[in-house]
Amino acid sequence: MATQETIHEEALAAGVDPELSWSEADLPERERTKHVHRLHPYLGKYVPQLVETFLRRHFEPGQRVLDPFAGSGTTLVECSTFGCHSVGVDVSAFNVLLARTKVRPRDADATAADLLSALRRFEAGEGDADGPLDPYLEEWFAPRALAELVRFRGLVPDYPASADLLQVVLCRAARSARLTTHFDLDFPRRPQRDPYTCRKHRRTCQPTDQAAKFLRRYTVDTARRVAAYQHVRRPVEAVVHHGDARTLDHAADLDGIVTSPPYPGRIDYHGQHRYAFALLGLPTRLDEEIGAPARGLSRGAVADYVDDIAAVLANARRRLRRGAPVVIVIDDSRGLYDEVLARAGLELEHRLLRHVNRRTGLRSGQFYEQILIARA
């Protein structure tokens, strides 16, 4: 099996853009997950260094950039450190919470004081663990872990200036504390209640029965990451809308788009954060999720996907200045985006190839994405 390094070298030789493709040695995980980008795991996000490159190539500080599929807020965070104003849109309430939490300007010292105060009180036994629970939580968490998560949740309202951060800490800890195997944290199929042979650690592992250790670890980590981000954040506006980008009224003019749309039938963006929706009581908008796996990959489902992505871009184009750049990162192996762009009234200028790196040292094959550069 080829190593990651040899695969990357072959990709460069095949003509990928070297400024948009990295090996693990070139771009280790600690850089891909710098400051607030690692506040909470998110399946399907692109690396911030891609956005850095796009902003440097196509934008100037002070301009306004839209990401109509904001996800975990990668585009918005990078705009805020580059000096661009930004607007994000997402139909997932948890995605909106996560993106808003990341991009907020904060007093780092006051934030750390709030987070550590909540942690100290939690570890002293404070926090109300009473009240009704979503059945999902009782199925997927050991009783001790669930009680700890609910007690921590009970302290959140006492810190209004940092409540969003505490909610993200809570959800990050919940993700780690579920009754699942260590190697299947993204979409576990069933609760794991017995010891199991762990492919990740190569030994017999036990499903976790507590959340306290994760709450401590992620509270301290979050305070550190927020401080690092506030040091590089510029005084620009970052707005995140909870809505449908096909119909949302973009009230301000836009200087361009940087986005990575959902791929058809690949990721359940609500489902990957099911624990967060249950813990926080967030509303769902499943019927508005574009390309949802539940719709399948039939000819009709793919046609609907093209309609929906074209509608999002056409809606945004009404606010784009003439000639504004539209940068789209997508696996267009189905060849859908020539039609998408044409129907949205956008002109394709360049189609670049990017080799996608993964953390694992070995892999069985190549994976590429297309970078589409279009103009309004």
Report d(CA 174, CA 148) in Å as an integer: 10
Q: What is the DSSP letter of 272?
A: G
> Is this structure's pTM higher than 0.85?
yes
- Asked if residue 256 and residue 210 are part of one domain, the reply reads no
- Asked if residue 342 and residue 259 are part of one domain, the reply reads yes
- Asked if residue 83 and residue 194 are part of one domain, the reply reads no
Give Cβ neighbours of residue 119 (< 8 Å, ≥ 6 apart). 215, 216, 219, 220
Alpha helices, DSSP H only, in the chain? Answer: 4-13, 29-32, 48-58, 74-82, 93-103, 108-123, 135-140, 143-155, 163-177, 212-232, 274-280, 299-317, 337-344
Q: What is the mean pLDDT of residues 154-165?
A: 98
Give me the amino acid identity at 306.
V
- Asked if residue 371 and residue 239 are part of one domain, the reply reads yes
pLDDT of 7-66, one tens digit each? 556 656 566 788 888 888 888 889 999 999 999 999 988 999 999 999 999 999 999 999
Please report which confidence band the pLDDT of residue 295 belongs to, taking 50, 70 and 90 as the band edges: very high
Confidence at residue 15, expressed as pLDDT on a 0 to 100 scale: 63
How many distinct structural domains can be found in the chain?
2
The residue out of 201, 231, 261 marking a domain boundary is 231
Q: CA quadruple 150, 155, 161, 166: dihedral positive or negative?
A: negative
- Asked if residue 169 and residue 72 are part of one domain, the reply reads no
Residues of the domain holding 52: 4-105+235-375
- Asked if residue 94 and residue 125 are part of one domain, the reply reads no
CATH code of residue 100: 3.40.50.150
- Asked if residue 354 and residue 275 are part of one domain, the reply reads yes
- Asked if residue 99 and residue 247 are part of one domain, the reply reads yes
- Asked if residue 68 and residue 100 are part of one domain, the reply reads yes
Which is more confidently placed, 267 or 77? 77
The residue out of 231, 258, 287 marking a domain boundary is 231
- Asked if residue 254 and residue 177 are part of one domain, the reply reads no
pLDDT over threshold 60, residue 321:
yes
pLDDT over threshold 50, residue 307:
yes
pLDDT of 59-99, one tens digit each? 999 999 999 999 999 999 999 999 999 999 999 999 999 99
- Asked if residue 179 and residue 136 are part of one domain, the reply reads yes
Confidence at residue 363, expressed as pLDDT on a 0 to 100 scale: 45
Report d(CA 168, CA 96) in Å as an integer: 11
Q: What is the mean pLDDT of residues 123-130?
A: 93
Q: What is the DSSP letter of 288?
A: G
- Asked if residue 335 and residue 259 are part of one domain, the reply reads yes
